[in-house]
Amino acid sequence: MTDERTVLVIDDDEQVRRAFRRVLESGGFQVREAEDGVSGLAAVRQAAPNAVLLDLRMPGMDGLEVLSELVASAPDVPVLVVSGEGTVTDVVGALRGGAWDFVTKPVSDRALLTSAVERVLEKARLLKENRAFSESLKAANLRLTSALDDLRADEQAARQLQFHLLPEDGLRFGGLTWSRRMFPARYLSGDFVDYFPLGEQYAGFYVADVAGHGAASAFVTAILTMLVQKHREHLTSRGDETILHPGSFLARLNAELSSHGLERHVTMFYGVIDRGSGRLVFSNAGAFPYPVLVNGSSRSELECVGRPLNLLAKAGRFAQGEAVLEPGGKLLIASDGVLELGAPASHEQKRAELAEIVASAEHIDHVLAALGLDRPSELDDDVAILFLRREES
């Protein structure tokens, strides 16, 4: 297999296959097609592709059956399941059954599809390299040592994938500059940060903290990013504006996370900012400390109380707050791990120190230096930081 950018699309809908072909070929991929599960499995046996786009809903042999066969017979081939409306539960089941990622149809954003395929190909490459490294150790080490190295290799690949899901650092759009850093206390983080445009007028952003550490918490962050992505696409494809209203959006996420039986709760601060006026609407699902807003000489915390997500199936309504990020203003959102940094002090003192740091900082690196995060050290808790600046008018 010399071409490392071949994608097999398995879908019974010819129009969907054609749509995926157009998008993928424009992204530099070679595309093969199969109209049902049986012919798709035959195509993989004949010449394994580099990735598979698999519809979950097909007559005859459905997508979950095909996935099970692919995981058993071709575990190295990344499978992205394709979901339509109302199949989120099946998507979660597919991810647990061996799927590497998911995309939704119809395709409303070409970049989301191509980036999803790029991500799984990158993960496959990393797994291939890690597997080769592990094989070289087996000849010289006892089986227990080799098994331990395999585990570490898997963790490294998972870490690479988690960090690959993060948005570009230093991204600029609409007069706003977004910077982020993430510092895991262990190899995998239960914290996550994201920001993204919402149409031409708005941008959304959040910092989330999943209870606990390690792979289980990191898995929940991945599920959360997929749910957020789904609502971003619904804004474009359906005109569903839920994601533009933070209180309603957190309530929807709480219901969706609760329905999947995940056992960890999530704190999350979510905001939407008008890229022209700087008007900021936000809601909070138990996140603390509160974000620090600095406009000129004015400093304030975006205080908003709410229950964590997935703590109660029905958490009630989530309150909303409003503020304005003025030209030249700065906003810092940090997970609660930031309160564990430095010398022991009360939370009130730590928050006051954080406000002082933000007021004097011109860049996220200034914040890191003031917090001692610019030098390697062991952390008691994960730390995620989002730093937003609005350009001077």
- Check residues 90 and 161 and name the one with the higher pLDDT: 90
* Cβ neighbours of 142 (radius 10 Å): 9
Place of tokens 């395999």: 150
Q: Give percent of the chain above pLDDT 70.
A: 88
Confidence at 220, pLDDT banded by 50, 70, 90: confident
Structure letter (DSSP) for residue 50: S
> What Cα–Cα distance (Å) separates residue 176 from each residue in 157, 253, 263?
32, 26, 36
How many helices (H) and strands (E) the chain has is answered by 10, 16
Confidence at 102, pLDDT banded by 50, 70, 90: confident
How high is the pLDDT of residue 85?
60
Find how far residue 195's CA is from the centre of its chain. Answer: 10
CA distance 86 to 200: 28
Cis preceding linkage at 184, omega within 30: no
How high is the pLDDT of residue 321?
97
Q: Is the pLDDT of residue 252 over 80?
A: yes
Max Cα distance, the chain (Å):
67
User: Average pLDDT of 186-198?
Assistant: 84
Measured in degrees and rounded to the nearest 5, phi and psi for residue 141 equal: -125, 160
User: Average pLDDT of 138-166?
Assistant: 56
* Contacts for 350 with CB less than 8 Å, ≥ 6 apart: 289, 338, 339, 342
- The fold adopted by the segment(s) 6-121 is Rossmann fold (3.40.50)
Residue/partner pairs of 171-177 with CB below 8 Å, 24 or more apart:
171/195, 173/197, 173/203, 173/275, 174/203, 174/275, 174/276, 175/275, 175/276, 175/327, 175/390, 175/391, 176/203, 176/273, 176/275, 176/388, 176/389, 176/390, 176/391, 177/388, 177/389, 177/390, 177/391
- The fold adopted by the segment(s) 170-390 is Phosphatase 2c; domain 1 (3.60.40)
How high is the pLDDT of residue 158?
54
How high is the pLDDT of residue 152?
52
How high is the pLDDT of residue 146?
52
Cβ atoms of residues 301 and 246 within 8 Å: no
How high is the pLDDT of residue 1?
40
Which two three-digit tokens encode residue 43?
């195509």
- This prediction's pTM: 0.61
Q: What's the chain's average pLDDT?
A: 86
Q: E strands, the chain, where?
A: 6-10, 30-34, 51-55, 79-83, 101-104, 171-173, 176-183, 191-198, 202-210, 266-274, 279-285, 292-295, 298-301, 320-324, 330-334, 383-390
Structure letter (DSSP) for residue 380: S
Structural domain boundaries of the chain? 6-121, 170-390
User: Average pLDDT of 141-151?
Assistant: 51
Q: Computed from CA positions of residues 325, 328, 334, 338, in that sequence, does the dihedral angle turn out positive or negative?
A: negative
Confidence at 148, pLDDT banded by 50, 70, 90: very low
Q: Computed from CA positions of residues 243, 246, 252, 253, in that sequence, does the dihedral angle turn out positive or negative?
A: positive
* pLDDT tens digits along 123-145: 888 888 777 666 765 654 555 45
If DSSP codes are grouped into helix, strand and coil, which group holds residue 248? Answer: helix
Place of tokens 């958490």: 315
Q: Is the pLDDT of residue 116 over 60?
A: yes
Residue 206, CA atoms < 13 Å, CB-side half-sphere: 27
Cβ atoms of residues 70 and 77 within 8 Å: yes
At what angle are helices 63-73 and 37-46 packed, to 10 degrees? 20
Q: Is the pLDDT of residue 295 over 70?
A: yes
Which amino acid does the sequence have at 105?
Answer: K
Q: Computed from CA positions of residues 261, 268, 313, 280, in that sequence, does the dihedral angle turn out positive or negative?
A: negative
Q: What are 51's strand-pairing partners? A: 7
How high is the pLDDT of residue 79?
93
Q: Is the pLDDT of residue 7 over 80?
A: yes
